Amino acid sequence: MNKQFLSVRSLASKSPESPGKQKICRNCDKQATKEALFDVGNGISVLERYCESCLGVMLKDIGSIA
Ligand SMILES: [Zn+2]
């Protein structure tokens, strides 16, 4: 699937909708601090959560600047 990086934003450490629910980086098992938005085509966008270091690696991989 061809996905295109759109934007990144910081995650609040605690979400009001789901208190106590920890968000985990998709690449490792650390706490996610960033949320990256991708366009996957057909008007569909997906969110992927990363910790700081994995986000940096991921952005480097796709050649985008946060
Ligand atoms: Zn990570």
From first to last of the 66 residues of the chain, give the pLDDT tens digit.
578 899 999 987 665 666 567 789 999 999 999 999 999 999 999 999 999 999 999 988 887 554
Q: Ligand 1 centre and the CA of 33: distance in Å?
A: 9
pLDDT recorded at residue 15: 55
pLDDT recorded at residue 20: 62
Count of residues making up the chain: 66
DSSP classification of residue 1: -
Q: Ligand 1 centre and the CA of 60: distance in Å?
A: 14
Break the chain into its structural domains and give their ranges.
4-14+23-62
Contact 54, 14 (CB under 8 A): no
Q: Ligand 1 centre and the CA of 25: distance in Å?
A: 5
pLDDT recorded at residue 3: 84
Rounded (10°) CA dihedral 66, 52, 36, 29:
160
Q: Ligand 1 centre and the CA of 42: distance in Å?
A: 28
